[in-house]
Amino acid sequence: MQIIHTIRELREWRKTAGRVAFVPTMGNLHEGHLALVREARQRADHVVVSIFVNRLQFGQGEDFDQYPRTLQQDADKLKGEGVAVVFAPDEKELYPRVEQRYNVEPPHLQNELCGAFRPGHFRGVATVVSKLFNIVQPEVACFGKKDYQQLAIIKGFVADLNVNVEIVPVDTGRASDGLALSSRNQYLSEAERAEAPRLYRELMAMAQAVKGGNLAYAELENTARAHLEAAGWAVDYIEIRHADSLEVAHAGDKNVVILAAARLGKTRLIDNIEVRQD
C-alpha cells in the first residue's frame, strides 16, 4: 500500500491503475469506514482512500482544530483491508490559494435539515468531493447512508454536472445497541454513550408506525422530539422526507426516510432510517 501526499504523484499512479474505486474520508477511521472500503474492493481493481480534514465544511465554532488526525493508525487499518493507495494531502496541496474562489454550490437542499444548522457545510463537502473526483478519477465512489443528505447532494451534482463516477450508497454501520458508527461517538461520556442509542430507537418506532400505515407525519415527528427532549437531548430536527428527492414527504409517498440530528451534551449525533414500500 502506498501513502501519497501530492496530486502529481497520485496522477502518475493513476495512469496505469485500471479500474479504481474511491472512498473519501476525513480519517479517524472506524468500522463504518472499513465497510465502505470492503464494498469498494468488490467493485474495482484498486481502492483509493483519501484522508483529509476539510476546513471548508466546518462552520464557526465547530471542531475543525480538535478533529482527530490519526494517519498512521488509519493507514494500518487500510493496509489490512487491501487498499492500494491512501491519498493524504496537506491543506496547501489541496487548497494552494488562501481562499477557494470557485465552489460547487448545491441547490436549496443545502440550507435544509443539517444545512439549516451548519451554513456552508454542504458547499464545502460538494467542493472537496468534486476536487477529489477530479484528482483520483475513479470509476466508482462509495458513500455511507448515515450522511444521507450529503449522499443526496453528491448524487445530485454528479448527475447534473455529468461526472463520470458511479455513486454506491452503503448501509449505515451500527454498534450492537443500534448507535450509528461515527468518529464523534468518542466525544460521548460513559453516561451519554449509554443514552445515545435512544435516537435510533425513536427512529425505529417512527419507521414501524409508518410501515403500519400511520401517515400523521407531523405527529410522529413531534412525539419523537418530545421523547428525546424529555431525556435531556437538544433536538435540531426530526423530519420525514421523500427518500429519493429529500423533499417534504406527503401521505401518498411510498418511499420515505426519517432523518434526525440532536445533541447529547456537546456531541451532535445524526441518524436516519429508510422506509421503502414500493
Residue 230 pLDDT: 98
Q: What is the DSSP letter of 228?
A: H
Find out whether 183 is annotated in a ligand binding site.
yes
Report the range of poorest mean pLDDT among 4-8, 64-68, 104-108, 162-166.
Answer: 64-68
Residue 58 clears pLDDT 80, i.e. is over it: yes
Residue 124 pLDDT: 95
183-272 maps to which CATH number?
3.30.1300.10
Report CA-CA distances (Å) from 154 to 41, 128, 176, 193.
21, 11, 29, 30
HSE (side-chain half, CA atoms, 13 Å) at 169: 16
Residue 128 pLDDT: 97
CATH 3.30.1300.10 domain position(s) in the chain: 183-272
Find out whether 31 is annotated in a ligand binding site.
yes
Report the range of poorest mean pLDDT among 91-105, 116-130, 196-210.
Answer: 91-105
pLDDT in tens, 19-35: 999 999 999 999 999 99
Residue 131 clears pLDDT 90, i.e. is over it: yes
Find out whether 57 is annotated in a ligand binding site.
yes
In this predicted model, which residue has the larger pLDDT, 58 or 256?
A: 256
Residue 146 clears pLDDT 90, i.e. is over it: yes
2-170 adopts what CATH topology?
Rossmann fold (3.40.50)
Q: What is the mean pLDDT of residues 153-177?
A: 97
Find out whether 1 is annotated in a ligand binding site.
no
| Residue of 5, 33, 46, 242 with catalytic role | 33
The verdict on whether 33 is a catalytic residue reads yes
% of the chain beyond a pLDDT of 70: 100
With contact defined as beta carbons under 8 Å apart, do 169 and 40 qualify? no
Residue 245 pLDDT: 93
Q: What is the mean pLDDT of residues 148-170?
A: 97
Residue 14 pLDDT: 97
- Chain mean position to CA 156: 15
Find out whether 184 is annotated in a ligand binding site.
yes
Q: What is the mean pLDDT of residues 1-5?
A: 97
User: pTM for the whole thing?
Assistant: 0.93
CATH 3.40.50.620 domain position(s) in the chain: 2-170
Please give the angle made by the CA atoms of 175, 178 and 181, to the nearest 5 degrees.
45
Q: How confident is the model at residue 137 (pLDDT cuts 50, 70, 90)?
A: very high
Q: What is the mean pLDDT of residues 173-198?
A: 95
